[in-house]
Chain A
Amino acid sequence: MGKLRMFDTLFEGTTLVIAPTGPVSNLAAHDMLSEVGPLLALVQSDECRSVLVDMEKVTFFGSVLLGVLNSLSRQIRRRQGRFVLCGLSQVGGEVIHATRFDTLWPIYPSREEALKAMGGE
């Protein structure tokens, strides 16, 4: 799979795993946007049934990455797929909670636990 600069991607079965490669400042928005198109294309591909975003390497982020996550989430939910997060840092968890996205997206501590839960449902 082609490697993007700000996101690593791979398929685990029919789950697309997306992992930001580091902290995501709002000021990196221009760089990030050039990678949203390829990410959305992967979400729209036939083999993709669900999306897991692994935030392990993201110590902090703001509203811009939230916007990208929201776009990916809307895209997969339009296809009746699931959108799940894992590996949030303490502050990352607080960002998700403050913006109420924890009411929308299931969150797991690690990629392994998320994949296990997604496979078992």
Chain B
Amino acid sequence: MEKGGDWKVRYAVHGADALEKLAEADFDLVLTDLVMPGMDGLELVAAVHGRHPHVPVILMTSKGSEEIAVRALHEGAASYVPKRILAQNLVETVRRVLAVSSRHRGEARLLGCMSECRLTFVLGNDVSLIESLVVYLQANVVQMGLCDEAECTRIGVALEEALVNALYHGNLRVGSDLRGESDQEYYAMIARRRRECPFCERRIHVTARLTRDEGIFVIRDQGAGFDPSKLPDPDDPSALERASGRGLLLMRAFMDDVSYDPTGSVVTLVKRRKTDPAGPAKENP
């Protein structure tokens, strides 16, 4: 390593020592043996991946440890080099991993400077796309530093409820009342209408405007709308076991603001970043 490139190399005697050194200074890459006293290479890969996700780890493996190499990749290792071809492959592997991680770091730093993101989608009635959209929006919300993991899950639940409402109740015009009578018939009608005109021609329009302070999600369906004032009162005990209105309750519980336009076809959900009493949110690396 010292001969093969213009890198400064520092050595750690074991995994815990490596983690201490990583905490003290910035490193571009970790190269580790699999077998070490105390923490083994796999544990070190997981620890580095968790604490310093931008630092790639390359594992040196012995003959017969191919399965462990695969596990290391699952744990977050960037690559591995079998010891029997270490002399031939190590320098090239390090160069390749460093080149990739350098690009990722640059991209992460750039995205850390993003102040606003606007996304627009037009979805048909493919249910699997709704799931993908929720995951994509969650990733962007995290990227903008709007929330932690639990909050991200809450946003995902609320968005999924809103999108499913737009599809099932809005575009396909299948009411929750039917679900109260027969779940089977409810979902059979959804499946049928996804293929029938005019339902199959309708689209869901989704826009998301994300800043460092808030996310605003607007979901518009092309159905006939509904009167939001006629939703059951959530405080009415008799409404508890009814099938309708639970999605809206969850949207309201997990977002800071939920409002419908007068037609009932457009719902706007707002999530604001919680102010950290310890100070402003840290920017992404």
Where the two chains meet, the residues of A that have a C-beta atom closer than 8 Å to any C-beta of B are 25-27, 29-30, 33, 36, 59-63, 66-67, 70-71, 74, 90-91, 94-95, 97-101, 103-104
Contacts and interface: CB of A to CB of B under 8 A. Distances in A.
B249 A98 contact: yes
Interface residues of B, number: 29
Contact of A27 (B128, B150, B153, B247): B128
Nearest to A98: B253
Contact of A67 (B183, B191, B254): B183
B240 A62 contact: no
A99 B187 contact: no
Interface of B: 127-128, 130-131, 150, 153-154, 156-157, 160-161, 164, 179, 183-184, 187, 191, 234, 237, 240-241, 243, 246-247, 249-250, 252-254
Given A91-B153, A94-B253, A30 B187 contact: yes
A37 to B, nearest CB: 9
Contacts of A98: 249-250, 252-254
B183 A26 contact: no
B164 A26 contact: yes
B153 A62 contact: no
Contacts, number: 72
A17 to B, nearest CB: 23
A33 B179 CA distance: 12
Nearest to B191: A30
B161 A26 contact: yes
A33 B183 contact: yes
- Point out which of A26, A99, A101 has the most chain B C-beta atoms below 10 A from its C-beta: A26
B180 to A, nearest CB: 9
Nearest to A91: B153
A98 B154 CA distance: 12
A36 B241 CA distance: 17
B250 A62 contact: yes
Contacts of B131: 25, 27
- Point out which of A30, A36, A67, A101 has the most chain B C-beta atoms below 10 A from its C-beta: A67
Q: Please provide the 6 A-B residue pairs with the shortest distance between their CB atoms, ordered closest to farther.
A: A98-B253, A63-B246, A63-B247, A91-B153, A26-B164, A60-B153
A63 B161 contact: yes
A97 B154 CA distance: 13
23 contacts: A26-B164, A27-B127, A27-B128, A27-B160, A27-B164, A30-B187, A33-B187, A60-B157, A61-B157, A62-B247, A63-B164, A66-B246, A67-B179, A67-B243, A90-B150, A91-B153, A91-B154, A94-B254, A95-B157, A98-B249, A98-B250, A98-B253, A99-B250
A64 to B, nearest CB: 8
A62 B241 contact: no
B160 A26 contact: yes
Contact of B161 (A33, A62, A74): A62
